[in-house]
Structure 1
Amino acid sequence: MVQRYLIHILLSAIGLVLSSGAFAADLTTSFYTALNSQQSLSAQEQEILSGYDVYLVPGILSEAFVDGDDRSSITFSRLTGEYFETQRKLLQNQYGLKVQRLSSSSKSVADIRSNIRKALADSRSAHRKALFITHSLGGLALLEELVSFPSHQNTLAGILFLQSPFQGSPIADVYFEGPLHLDKWLKPVIPYFNTSPETIRYLSTISRKQFMTENHAIIRDLVQRIPIITVGGVVNGHSSLFTPAVNIIATGCFKIVLGQCVIRTSFAGPFDSSDGMVPFESSKIEGADFIRLEGVDHGETVVGIPFEQYDKSQVTTALLKTLLSKIGIN
């Protein structure tokens, strides 16, 4: 009798944890199994996805990586390719899906949200579900839109959040504080990228943690209702253009020589592995399943970094396979 009673209590406790949305599964192994298989989307998977509108939502500095976007005075797209272009071509040309890359804004999160809102309205009018693949700032804008209008959830099929700093980015903090004085050095430059100090402050740890805390209940409900996977990159110990920022997030040091900090920034922790812009733990949402991309920095997932070999097509396919398994497609 006592044993049965204890088992009942244990099962009840497990049920309480699951129902509260506190349980998050590490899907990294499942993702890499799909990635290493090098398989394309199956006919069944393509059929399911054909019923969705797929929206790609870029992040900060996207204007500089999209041909013809004259909001940025500087462009890198001829060197790196366009933002999310590999994903768009894969989904549209190879799999025949309905896909749209939304216009993002490095100056106004409200503008990104407006574009997301219109996309959701279009899908709703067509009686179709929307599946979002977002990156960085784009993911924060989507989450904020869903928090402000929970009814949007009825139109969602699922979300892949790539490298979004839900708990903020220490690099945004360092921009405003510390001995590097980045705000003074970069303030005259960032307008050329259509970026503003307000957007950088939006990305700070104080701003994001406050948002997540204030909207905890709504976000918990979203995670329970919608298939969501957060994806974080970790490039510590690997070659990357982001190495100086990786060191700041990992140790608080701008540079380390013989084990000593040459310049200690204002960032005092908690230290973490990162993709160079987003600490891995910051890329997570409480209760949401997650994937850890090893050796992948903040830019590799969305543009072509010179001298780096990163198969965005196969990674995107594996991510979609993993998300579809959550939606219920085997």
Structure 2
Amino acid sequence: MGLLFLVLNFAWASDLSPVYFSKFKESSFSAAEIKELKKFKVLLVPGVLAESFDSQSGNQIKVGFIFEDAFHEQKVLLTKEKIDFSFVAIDTESPVEVNALTIISEIEKSQKPVLIYSHSKGGLDTLEALRLRPELVSKVHGWVSVQSPFWGSEVASLMYDNDFLRQTGKSLFEWMGGSAKGMEALTIKERSRYMDSADVRSVIKSLDKKLLNYASYKPNAFGVDTPLEIFRNITQDLTGNNDGVVSLKSAMMKEHGLNVNYVVEKNVDHLMTMTKYRPDKLDFLQKYRAKYDQQRNTMTLLKMIL
């Protein structure tokens, strides 16, 4: 009976990739879509290390000499269209239960229902917020999780299982203002335990079609084709297709018998949805860099959860 339940649940999740690619061809929001969007507040929830890509943050590690600010393109898009939004100011290296409180506050203080666009660990923080306060699901009109490691990261697990790498990782998280628990929360063991809990599954079920999982992968190619080359290749050997940080299996709930629709996009790594490489710094990646349109990605996903 358990196996039958799993199979049936798996079948209910729909691959909306064709819809995504069709809408991706549209160059702008329609007037009707803008009118609809203005009924909601968009919450942008960042993931691990996002503060390192923010020139205004107090993070100890800054990579602005190579990358543009995180979510810059999303902010430009929403500002241009005069759509109400908030960039949720969380300490991205902190544990999910800490960041969840900030997300709860953002949802509560919004005068409108919210549309949530979460990246990477921001999806885990968002899920914890709704687990802690399941009544807030009624205020969430739609949520797209972008490249979120719901079932953990193979690289994080490898680091955590090695004494030297674990201590190094913990020190790094703490140095950036987070905690060792923030790193542990990304391991496969910890995430599997969390995702299998009854209250988490109940919240996911209550979200129903409000939730859309977006996952991507970057196949290996000759030479360095992504700044995440090493991590992508390690994860590829361990579990198959991934975006350099998160495997498809971890990002898509349908892989674990949950009725959540999904989109899969090829040739998109974990950084391409939230930042851009500065053209004068990484010349060898220019051809790769020019292939992706962050604003159109965000616009398309927002259209799909309206």
Q: How would you bin the TM-score normalised by the shorter chain? A: 0.7 to 0.9
Q: Indicate conservation of the 8 Å contact 1:233/1:297, yes or no.
A: yes
Kindly state the Cα deviation for residue 63 of structure 1 after the two structures are TM-superposed.
1.8
Partner Cα distance (1:138, 1:77) in 2: 21
Kindly state the Cα deviation for residue 186 of structure 1 after the two structures are TM-superposed.
4.5
Q: Residue type of the partner of 2:145?
A: F
Alpha carbons of structure 1 residues 57 and 220: separation in structure 2 relative to 1, 3 Å: closer
Partner Cα distance (1:78, 1:244) in 2: 21
Q: Indicate conservation of the 8 Å contact 1:104/1:138, yes or no.
A: no
Larger deviation: 79-88 or 152-161?
79-88
Tell me, what secondary structure is at the counterpart of 1:251? helix
Two-structure CA RMSD over aligned residues (Å): 2.3
Partner Cα distance (2:64, 2:90) in 1: 15
Kindly state the Cα deviation for residue 194 of structure 1 after the two structures are TM-superposed.
2.7
Kindly state the Cα deviation for residue 190 of structure 1 after the two structures are TM-superposed.
4.0
Counterparts in 2 of 1:290-309, with a 5 A limit?
290-306=262-278, 307=286, 308-309=289-290
User: After TM superposition, which residue ranges in structure 1, 4 or more long, deviate above 3 angstroms?
Assistant: 184-192
Kindly state the Cα deviation for residue 241 of structure 1 after the two structures are TM-superposed.
1.2
Encode CA deviations 1:48-78: one digit per residue, 9 max, x unaligned: 11010100000111221222211x1121235
Q: Indicate conservation of the 8 Å contact 1:61/1:195, yes or no.
A: no
TM-score by length of 2: 0.86
Q: Indicate conservation of the 8 Å contact 1:167/1:208, yes or no.
A: yes
Q: Residue type of the partner of 1:177?
A: D
Rg: which structure is higher?
Answer: 1
Encode CA deviations 1:283-310: one digit per residue, 9 max, x unaligned: 0122111111211111111011343122
Kindly state the Cα deviation for residue 278 of structure 1 after the two structures are TM-superposed.
0.5
Percent of aligned pairs with the same residue?
Answer: 23
Q: Indicate conservation of the 8 Å contact 2:170/2:183, yes or no.
A: no
Counterparts in 2 of 1:229-244, with a 5 A limit?
229-238=212-221, 239-244=225-230
Structure 1 gaps, min length 5: 1-12, 253-270, 325-330
Structure 2 gaps, min length 5: 279-285
Alpha carbons of structure 1 residues 78 and 118: separation in structure 2 relative to 1, 3 Å: farther
Larger deviation: 230-239 or 102-111?
102-111
Q: Indicate conservation of the 8 Å contact 1:229/1:291, yes or no.
A: yes
Partner Cα distance (2:10, 2:102) in 1: 29
Number of positions where the alignment pairs a residue of Structure 1 with one of Structure 2:
283
1:316 corresponding residue in structure 2: 298
TM-score by length of 1: 0.80
Q: Check if 1:74 corresponds to 2:42.
A: no
Encode CA deviations 1:134-176: one digit per residue, 9 max, x unaligned: 0011110100111121100111110010010111111110112
1:211 corresponding residue in structure 2: 194
Q: Indicate conservation of the 8 Å contact 2:95/2:185, yes or no.
A: no
Kindly state the Cα deviation for residue 195 of structure 1 after the two structures are TM-superposed.
3.9
1:172 corresponding residue in structure 2: 156
Q: Indicate conservation of the 8 Å contact 1:229/1:323, yes or no.
A: yes
